[in-house]
Each structure stands twice: as C-alpha cells, then as structure tokens.
C-alpha cells in the first residue's frame, strides 16, 4: 500500500519540478478538493449512486392486505366472523427493468461529470487567482526596485548639489520622483495584499511563497489544432451536457414505456362462515391508462429535445472557448517577447543616461524621463510575462494536461 502511494505521488513531484511558477501539486490537489463547489459535487456523486440504486430497484413494493368482515344469515339468524390476508406487488413489464438500469447508470454518470466539471472550474479559478496575485506582486517588486534606484539617485543629486555641480531644482525634482515612486509602491503592495487575500478566501489551505520564481513563459509544443481537439474532447462541461442529454433521452424512453401500466399480482388466503370455508385465491389488477400517461411521455420527449439543443449549444461554446484560449496563448507569448525587448532597451537607455548625467554630460530631465519610461516598460513586460504564462497554463488545464485530478476519481 505504501509503495502504491509513493508511485501515485511521483507524477505530482514531477509536476512541481516542471512548473516552478505554480504552487506544489499536492497543495493544489488539497486546495481544490477542499473547495466548497467541489465538495458539493462530490456529495452529488453519492446522491447519484443512491439514485441509481433507487431507479434500478423500481418504484414497486409489496403490499399486505388484511380483511375482516361479519356475515349474517338472516333465515337462521346466525353471525359468522370472516377474515382474509393477502400479499400483492406490481410487476414491471418486460423491458422496463433494463430501461431503469440504464437510466440509473446515466444518472450516476451525470453526477461524475458534474464532479469533474466542478474540479475543472475550481482549477480555472485557482489559476486565475494565483496569477492575479503574481501580477500584483510583480508590480510591487518592480516599484520597490524603482524606489531603490531613485534613493541612490537622490543621494547622488544631494552630493552634487552640495559640491555645486547641480542646481537645487534637480534635488527637488529627484525628491518628487522618489515620493511618487514610493506612493506607487504603497499602492502596489496594497493590491498585492488584496490579491493574496482573495486567493486565500477561495483556497485557504494553499500556501503562498514569499516570492515565485520568474520563469519565461512557454510556447505550446504542438499545433493549435491538436490542443483544440484535446480541449473539446476532454471538456467536462461538454461531457456533462452530453450526459444530461443522454439521461433525458433514456428518461423519455422510460416514460414512453409507462404508457402501458404495470399489472398487480397478488395471492389471498382466508376463512369464511366462521372457518367452515377456506379460501385460497390469486388476483390480477391492470390499471387502465389515461391521458396523463401520454402527456407525461410527451413532456419527457420534449425535455429530451431541450437537452439535445443545450448539448449542441454547449459544444459550440466549448469549441469557441478553445479557439479563443489558444489564440490568446499565442498572442500573449508574442506580446511578451515584444514587451521584454522594449523593456531591455529602455533599461539600457536609462543606464546610459545615468552614466552621462553623473559625468556631467547629460540633462537631469532626460534622465528622469528615461527612468519613467524604463519602469513603465518593466511593468508592462512583467505583466505580459505573467499573462503569457497564465494563458499557457490555461490551455494545459483545459486540455487536462495539468491538475487533472478527476482522472483518478
């Protein structure tokens, strides 16, 4: 048993090593399974199992019938106590039991698909909240780095003002730029705390590291068409819609079979005339079908049409989402590359202007402008990097290549 558990944990450990910018896989599994929507869907599986057993057992039960009466013979003025006891049960007609069994299995399958869909939606929520927190944390780190640079700049300006190499105005401008960056840092830190709180609100058991490694976003290794096929084929939302449609189709077939009612068969024993007569009998009762049975069958068939239409709608929705997600992943990766190149150029420009200013060959206003452009470019590059990473992992989650916890259910 212990060896089996170790083997099961190997893929999780490999996943944690493969994706250092994601939370550890065991922690993800614990957080996802503890999510209220997932726990509710897991309870729904137990409901589905009970419903399957209920449907397979059928609605009919044994009935016990007790009778008692007093007979009076007028000519002889004699009273007799008479009694009888019987047992009866409706019998499902041939074919109905098989339909009930299929309907029960479809009910259980629907609950399993609902559980898988809940896990998938919780995975999407965790991924989004995780990268929202990372984005705010990255912005705070960039502003902290900017504040550190501007503090050193302010110290350099103060020395130059003290030696008469710079005007007092440069010190005022440098101090204002530093104060502005410190205000931006405070706001970024507050947003990071709010994002962390939102993540912990949904997934309280998920540990948050002090800092997530900066990892370059990955590109999808296969053509988009292959990923789209996987995303559609493995979609639990689509599987749930299909199972609902299938269950409704089976329910319509079962309702159609109910147009012919089940007969009731019973046996009866009794005594009459004070025990002088002993009776043993069989009885058969057959309900006469009315308009209600036909109406119920028609309604079930119409509900099947509704479920089929919703299945088609869900298929179109899932295919559209898959195309958009893949397009977003490709676009975000290209955008990150462009923003990263711009940020590198802006950072180099700021470094060169800083050197020129320290040598007395540049204008302080140009240096300030370069620093503003550099921080804006770094912020944009950091956000683009995380957008690209999130889009890549979103494809992995939707294709069930990442956090596919429902596969071992």
Taking each helix axis from N to C end, the angle separating 25-33 and 36-57, rounded to the nearest 10 degrees, works out to: 60
Domains within the chain, CATH numbers bracketed: 27-408 (1.20.1600.10)
- pLDDT digits over 126-179, tens only? 999 999 999 999 999 999 999 999 998 888 888 878 887 767 888 888 889 999
Pairing of strands 277-285, 78-90: unpaired
Would you state the pLDDT for residue 2?
37
CA 180 vs CA 143, 147, 151, 259, 377: distances in Å: 10, 9, 12, 78, 17
Reference 96, options 257, 249, 252, 292; nearest CA is 257
Confidence of residue 79 (pLDDT cuts 50, 70, 90): confident
Would you state the pLDDT for residue 393?
96
Looking at the predicted structure, is the pLDDT value of residue 7 above 60? no
Rounded CA separation 387/375 (Å): 18
Q: How many CB atoms lie within 10 A of CB 299?
A: 12
200 touches 208 (CB < 8 A): yes
Tokens of 18: 């493969």
Looking at the predicted structure, is the pLDDT value of residue 6 above 60? no
Pairing of strands 264-272, 277-285: antiparallel
Would you state the pLDDT for residue 231?
94
Confidence of residue 214 (pLDDT cuts 50, 70, 90): confident
- pLDDT digits over 302-312, tens only? 999 999 999 99
Give the least confident one: 262-266, 269-273, 367-371: 269-273
Looking at the predicted structure, is the pLDDT value of residue 274 above 80? no
272 touches 79 (CB < 8 A): no
Distance between first and last Cα of the chain? 18
Would you state the pLDDT for residue 335?
95
Q: What is the DSSP string of 56-113?
A: HH-S---EEEEEEEEEEETTTTEEEEEEEEEEEEE-PPTTHHHHHHHHHHHHHHHHHH
75: which residues sit within 8 A by CB, 6+ positions away?
A: none
- pLDDT digits over 179-200, tens only? 999 999 999 999 999 999 999 9
Rounded CA separation 64/268 (Å): 10
3 state SS of 391: helix
27 touches 206 (CB < 8 A): yes
Rounded CA separation 44/118 (Å): 11
3 state SS of 215: coil
32: which residues sit within 8 A by CB, 6+ positions away?
A: 38, 119, 122, 123, 126, 203, 403, 405
Would you state the pLDDT for residue 16?
43
Q: Helices (H) and strands (E) in the chain — how many of each?
A: 9, 4
Would you state the pLDDT for residue 48?
95
Rounded CA separation 171/199 (Å): 42
Mean pLDDT of 99-121: 95
3 state SS of 357: helix
Looking at the predicted structure, is the pLDDT value of residue 408 above 70? no
Confidence of residue 9 (pLDDT cuts 50, 70, 90): very low
Would you state the pLDDT for residue 156?
83
The distance of Cα 20 from the centroid of its chain, to the nearest Å, equals 22
- pLDDT digits over 277-289, tens only? 788 889 899 999 9
């Amino acid at each position: 048993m212990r060896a089996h558990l170790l083997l099961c944990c190997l893929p999780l450990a490999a996943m944690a090593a493969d994706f250092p910018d994601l939370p550890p896989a065991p922690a993800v599994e614990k957080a996802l399974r503890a999510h209220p929507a997932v726990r509710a869907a897991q309870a729904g599986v137990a409901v589905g199992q009970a419903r399957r057993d209920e449907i397979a057992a059928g609605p009919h039960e044994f009935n016990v019938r007790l009778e008692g009466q007093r007979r009076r013979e007028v000519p002889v003025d004699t009273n007799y106590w008479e009694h009888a006891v019987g047992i009866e049960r409706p019998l499902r007609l041939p074919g109905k039991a098989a339909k009930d069994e299929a309907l029960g299995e479809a009910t259980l399958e629907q609950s399993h698909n609902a559980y898988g869909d809940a896990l998938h939606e919780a995975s999407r929520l965790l991924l989004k909240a995780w990268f929202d927190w990372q984005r705010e944390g990255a912005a705070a780190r960039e502003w902290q780095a900017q504040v550190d640079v501007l503090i050193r700049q302010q110290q350099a300006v103060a020395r130059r003002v003290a030696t008469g190499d710079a005007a007092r105005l440069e010190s005022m401008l440098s101090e204002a730029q530093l104060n502005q960056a410190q205000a931006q840092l405070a706001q970024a830190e507050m947003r990071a705390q709010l994002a962390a709180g939102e993540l912990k609100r949904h997934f309280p058991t998920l540990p948050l590291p002090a800092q997530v490694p900066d990892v370059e976003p990955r590109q999808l290794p296969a053509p988009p068409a292959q990923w789209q096929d996987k995303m559609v084929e493995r979609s639990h939302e689509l599987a749930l819609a299909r199972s609902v449609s299938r269950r409704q189709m089976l329910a319509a077939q079962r309702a159609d079979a109910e147009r012919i009612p089940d007969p009731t068969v019973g046996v009866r024993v009794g005594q009459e005339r004070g025990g002088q007569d002993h009776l043993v009998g069989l009885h058969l009762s057959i309900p006469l079908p009315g308009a209600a049975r036909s109406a119920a069958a028609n309604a079930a068939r119409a509900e099947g049409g509704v479920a089929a239409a919703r299945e088609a709608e869900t298929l179109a929705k899932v295919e559209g989402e898959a195309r958009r997600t893949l397009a977003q992943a490709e676009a975000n990766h290209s955008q990150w590359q462009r923003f990263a190149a711009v940020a590198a150029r802006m950072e180099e420009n700021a470094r060169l202007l800083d050197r020129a200013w320290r040598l007395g060959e540049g204008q302080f206003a140009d240096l300030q402008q370069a620093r503003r452009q550099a921080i804006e470019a770094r912020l944009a590059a950091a956000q683009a990097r995380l957008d690209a990473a999130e889009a890549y992992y979103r494809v992995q989650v939707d294709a069930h290549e990442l956090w596919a916890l429902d596969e071992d259910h």
